[in-house]
Structure 1
Amino acid sequence: MVVTIKDVAREANVAPSTVSRVIANNPRISEKTKKRVKEVMNQLGYYPNLQARSLVAKSTQTIGVIMPNSAYHAFRNPFFPEVLRGISMNAHESKYGIYLSTGSTEEEIHEEVLSMVNGRRVDGIVLLYSRVNDRTMNYLEESGFPFTVVGRPSMNEERITYVDNDNIFITKQVTNYLIELGHKNIAFVGGNLDFVVTIDRLNGYNMALKEAGLPVTDAYFVHEKFVNEKGKDAIRTLVELEVPPTALVTQDDLMAYEIISHLEKLNIKVPDDISIVSFNNLSLSEHSKPPLTSVDIGTFQLGHVATKCLIEKIENPETLPIRITIPTRLIERKSCAVKK
């Protein structure tokens, strides 16, 4: 037998409209009444028909989460499960579901966002990346559809709500950390200039070198695609330069793990021969060999706060755009050493 809202109301000795307001978490209903109604719902095994409620409210109670590439590739990077943990926790607290993107190319991702927006399949969108001149972000801004971004937009940032780290500042700090250890030849490995995060981190890296009176060398910047496609050969080219780097700033921990593996095969030891510092502070970083010095970027908080901002925009369309900066922290471990 299907339990209805009237059954709950009769058992709790309240009006059916009161049960509806409890389900909607209406602030006008006292906590005492909410507690009693929820206890009855649990006792009777009543589950609200959220889909029907959404049709009435013209809301899906769902947010779209857009990743920079397919879920298969994204979930190979522990950054995404952690940022999604932050998103899902806030969404759950606010009674929103999550719709994950599945597109594997820029075109597929864009078409999926068009479908989400025009088909009203979601109430708002969280972009988990910021690409330079991104047509999807431009479309969302022009359409007026609620969205937030994890990362700094490449354009019109004053008109877009986004959550980010101060990537210029923290990368400058990280590079200065290596300079203070005595390193003068420092490379930046693993960036992709299609993404704003790489541009910001590269700017911070360059600023630190220039302020220390050290040269900025093009050969010391290695694009992630060369590491991904050529692996050990890309790293070999770097360390066989006439003046090889003695320290590396890497784009993220996964890239750092791969580089350490390639260096091992080239009989180059970390940190005895070369120091490495990275970003994200994944849970595996303290257990890698050697334990990896890494910047904790607050991955969970990035997702949690971006979702909070999005839901505020959905429920109050007049909310003004804001930037929220999540603090970072350098975690020193064993992958960096004083230059001998």
Structure 2
Amino acid sequence: MAITIKDVAKKAGVSPSTVSRVLSNHPRISTETSKKVKLIMEQMGYHPNIMAKSLVSKTTNSICIMLPKSAEELFSNFFFMELIRGIVTQAGRLGYDVLISSGANEKEEVEGVSRLLNGRRVDGVILLYSRKDDPVIDFLHDNDHNFVLIGRSEQYPDILSVDNDNVQASYDATKHLISLGHERIGFVSGPPELIVSKDRLKGYLTALHDSGLESRQEWIVEGEFLQESGYRAMSFFMNLPDRPTAIVLIDDVVAFGVLRGLHELKYKVPEDLCLISFNNIPLSELSTPPLSSIDIGIYNLGYTASQVLIQSIQNSNDKTYQKRQVIPHRLIVRESSMYSVPKN
């Protein structure tokens, strides 16, 4: 015979309503009581009826991750995988399951989150990216759904978001190269519709301006968060008559493409070209040479986004919490940018 809530309550010496509150992670249940009840559930082999619980509580204890529309970009970039790891870890600790949604275009993305939210299959959504004029954000905001943006929104500055100070991070990366004596510094950006591309470009340009250095349009290349974008950018830069001596790259994976191309052409890093990028994924330390990178705390971005979303779901009437969480960044200097320009 199936174990019921009443059976668990009797064994734990608490009321059935207390067991229900433990299952829903109610904030008024003490940590001690919660641990005791959960241990007895495990010992008795009790598994809650999620569908019935959802009908009663009007919650699903599930959240959705909205993936970028480019699957190639997602599965070839460690950034997204580490971000998802942080989200899933914290969601699991708080008793929430995670569903994943995607779409081939913006229309399909909106339809996907609409089905999940209006069909009461999830309680909220985490967006892994921020775009200009994003219809998914419009839909979530206009319909007062629970959601968190990893990034920032220019249109809705008051929404829940978790982000880095990408302008300052890019400024710090560029100033590092300037401190080594570099005056001709290039920048490999991401897709222009992404806010992170805009912010990091702004930081790069501001650092050049503050140091009295020239910025040239031909030293700025746009691309995707893929190795091939770095490979193509490298070919472009190295064929310029007045090429940069250092480059800021928007992503480590893009930097790997640059390293591959430079190696094929027998150029040396950092002697012929200094590089610094963003994200500090584990492979950046293992590349040849090891890659200087801005550590943006990827896991912490995902972990915090999950925590913030679930907090907003469980305390929907509490509007006192901070709307924008900023995760600090760190400059990690490795061999790819350990070369000072010789003074004349």
Q: Which band: TM-score by shorter chain?
A: over 0.9
Unaligned runs of 5+ in 2: none
Change (3 A) 1:302 1:27: closer
- Residues 126, 310 of structure 1: 8 Å contact kept: yes
- Residues 190, 227 of structure 1: 8 Å contact kept: no
Counterparts of 1:89-128 in structure 2 under 5 Å? 89-128=89-128
What is the TM-score with the length of structure 2 in the denominator?
A: 0.91
CA offsets per residue over residues 73-132 of structure 1, 9 Å max, x none?
Answer: 413211112111221122112211111113233332222122223222211111110001
Paired AA for residue 19 in structure 1: V
How many residue pairs align between the two structures? 339
1:326 counterpart residue number: 327
1:143 counterpart residue number: 143
1:277 counterpart residue number: 276
1:132 counterpart residue number: 132
Identity of aligned residues (%): 44
Change (3 A) 1:183 1:160: same
Tell me by how many angstroms 1:317 deviates: 2.4
2:194 counterpart residue number: 195
Change (3 A) 1:264 1:102: same
Q: Which moved more, 1:292-301 or 1:29-38?
A: 29-38
CA offsets per residue over residues 222-279 of structure 1, 9 Å max, x none?
Answer: 1115986676454222111121011010010000011110111122111110000000
Task: Tell me, in whole angstroms, the C-alpha distance in 1 between the residues paired with 2:27 and 2:230.
Answer: 57
Paired AA for residue 134 in structure 2: D
- Residues 183, 246 of structure 1: 8 Å contact kept: yes
Unaligned runs of 5+ in 1: none
Task: Tell me, in whole angstroms, the C-alpha distance in 2 between the residues paired with 1:230 and 1:172.
Answer: 22
Change (3 A) 1:317 1:284: same
1:262 counterpart residue number: 261
Say yes or no: does 1:62 pair with 2:62.
Answer: yes
Give the match's secondary structure for 2:325.
strand
Change (3 A) 1:17 1:248: same
Counterparts of 1:109-258 in structure 2 under 5 Å? 109-157=109-157, 159-225=158-224, 232-258=231-257
- Residues 130, 154 of structure 1: 8 Å contact kept: no
What is the TM-score with the length of structure 1 in the denominator?
A: 0.92
Q: State the superposition RMSD in angstroms.
A: 2.2
Task: Tell me, in whole angstroms, the C-alpha distance in 2 between the residues paired with 1:306 and 1:115.
Answer: 22
Tell me by how many angstroms 1:301 deviates: 1.2
Tell me by how many angstroms 1:72 deviates: 5.5
Task: Tell me, in whole angstroms, the C-alpha distance in 2 between the residues paired with 1:203 and 1:193.
Answer: 12
Change (3 A) 1:309 1:10: closer
Task: Tell me, in whole angstroms, the C-alpha distance in 1 between the residues paired with 2:68 and 2:271.
Answer: 36
Change (3 A) 1:199 1:36: closer
Tell me by how many angstroms 1:6 deviates: 2.9
Task: Tell me, in whole angstroms, the C-alpha distance in 1 between the residues paired with 2:61 and 2:312.
Answer: 13
- Residues 70, 101 of structure 1: 8 Å contact kept: no
1:45 counterpart residue number: 45
Task: Tell me, in whole angstroms, the C-alpha distance in 1 between the residues paired with 2:102 and 2:24.
Answer: 31
Change (3 A) 1:71 1:227: closer
Task: Tell me, in whole angstroms, the C-alpha distance in 2 between the residues paired with 1:91 and 1:273.
Answer: 46
Task: Tell me, in whole angstroms, the C-alpha distance in 2 between the residues paired with 1:314 and 1:240.
Answer: 53
- Residues 188, 233 of structure 2: 8 Å contact kept: no
Paired AA for residue 254 in structure 1: V
